[in-house]
Amino acid sequence: MSKVLFLIVFFAWCWLSVATSQALAQNKDLSDIAADAYTAGQWQQAAQAYEQVLKQQPDNQGAWFRLGRVYIELKQANLAQHALNKALVAGSVPLQFVQVQLARAAMLQNQSEQAITWLNQAASLGFSNATSISQEPLFAGLMQHPDYAVVARKIEENASPCMFQAPYREFDFWLGHWSVYGNPEKTGPLYGHNQIKREQQGCLVMEYWQSASGGPGTSMNYYDGTKQKWVQHWVSAGGTVINMEGGLVAGTMVMQGQIFYINTSINPVRDFRASFSRLDHGVVRQYFEESIDAGQSWYPWFEGFYFPEPAPQ
């Protein structure tokens, strides 16, 4: 290669590199401008910026999605629908999010049937932000639609599935504030007080025990879908740990596992089992047994009768 030809190729390469870098920087700056305007709610500026971004990146689904939302804010329903349809393909933006925005765009044109259809499809794909639907001004007119309640329930079920699916509600009879006595007549010794409540939107049942002598303990209870069993993990302030699992048997929650005693040198780990039974008048019987011979024989460990009491103010 001659020196002259080499110089021509070299300078052409340098020019192309600089031009490419400038183009990338320009695209990045334009995307930043669009994003900043979008975040600030400067809808007209955001629309102009995203339109420019999409001229250079026509397959940018995220930009199409945001542009669709911007057009909704600008009350330009047709443009919003066009932009959102561009984003309505499997890719970087979850389909259910696009469908909810298409429902908003439909409501700009008073197309309530189409809006319900889009929301129903979004719910079927797992959309779970129930608050965003109930607080969306554009959906206020949908509240009276005969199918709205069904769609809203689907979305609520997606948000809190454990509140609606039967296996996760099997231990509901243990929920409440309780005084725990030693016999079903409530004349025996008061063993303590227990508070059992739902947490994690119904997916977790937490126990907060306080014995009459002041000793606390806590258990975490949940339905494990991988095992299709209920699981309990108990820890007391004295270091005793209980791990059990099981399920309903003829209406009684039956669990079995092991107990560990931190301060016991002989057989610190023992077999353990429990039952929680519903009695009359809202009373619950809790019965624990322990075995030191690998389950060949069992002896009582605890029996308590739970009596409902008012929740503390």
pLDDT of residue 6: 45
Q: Are 216 and 123 part of one and the same domain?
A: no
What does the alpha-carbon distance between residue 16 and residue 67 come to, in Å, rounded to a whole number? 32
Q: Are 216 and 274 part of one and the same domain?
A: yes
Q: Are 261 and 286 part of one and the same domain?
A: yes
pLDDT of residue 3: 55
What does the alpha-carbon distance between residue 131 and residue 106 come to, in Å, rounded to a whole number? 19
pLDDT of residue 27: 53
Stated pTM of the model: 0.75
What does the alpha-carbon distance between residue 233 and residue 244 come to, in Å, rounded to a whole number? 7
Residue 18 lies in a domain: no
Measured CA distances, 112 to 108, 211, 304 (Å): 9, 57, 56
Q: Are 152 and 175 part of one and the same domain?
A: no
Range 116-121 contact pairs with CB under 8 angstroms and sequence separation of 24 or more: 116/142, 116/145, 116/147, 116/148, 116/151, 119/151, 119/155, 120/147, 120/150, 120/151, 120/154, 121/96
Residue that terminates a domain, selected from 159, 182, 213: 159
143 Cβ contact partners less than 8 Å away, ≥ 6 residues apart: none
> Of the candidates 293, 259, 262, which has an alpha carbon nearest to the alpha carbon of residue 274?
259
**How many domains does the chain contain in total?**
2
* Radius of gyration of the CA atoms of the chain, in A: 31
Q: Are 122 and 145 part of one and the same domain?
A: yes
Q: Centre a 10 Å sphere on the Cβ of residue 311 and count the other Cβ atoms it contains.
A: 9
Q: Are 174 and 302 part of one and the same domain?
A: yes
pLDDT of residue 29: 87
Buried/exposed code over 182-203 (b: 16+ C-beta within 10 A; e: otherwise)? eeeeeeeeebbbbbbebeeebb
Q: Are 191 and 278 part of one and the same domain?
A: yes
- Under a CB-based contact definition with an 8 Å cutoff, are residues 258 and 272 in contact? yes
What does the alpha-carbon distance between residue 70 and residue 44 come to, in Å, rounded to a whole number? 8
Q: Are 149 and 249 part of one and the same domain?
A: no
Residue that terminates a domain, selected from 139, 159, 179: 159
pLDDT digits (tens, 9 = 90+) for 254-269: 999 999 999 888 889 9
Residue that terminates a domain, selected from 102, 132, 159: 159
Q: Are 174 and 122 part of one and the same domain?
A: no
pLDDT of residue 14: 44
pLDDT of residue 313: 67
Regions of the chain with pLDDT less than 70: 1-28, 90, 313
Residue 125 lies in a domain: yes
pLDDT of residue 91: 75
* Structural domain range at position 216: 167-308
pLDDT of residue 265: 82
CATH code of the domain in which 229 resides = 2.40.128.20
Q: Helices (H) and strands (E) in the chain — how many of each?
A: 8, 10
Helix (H) or strand (E) run with residue 164 in it:
none
What does the alpha-carbon distance between residue 168 and residue 159 come to, in Å, rounded to a whole number? 14
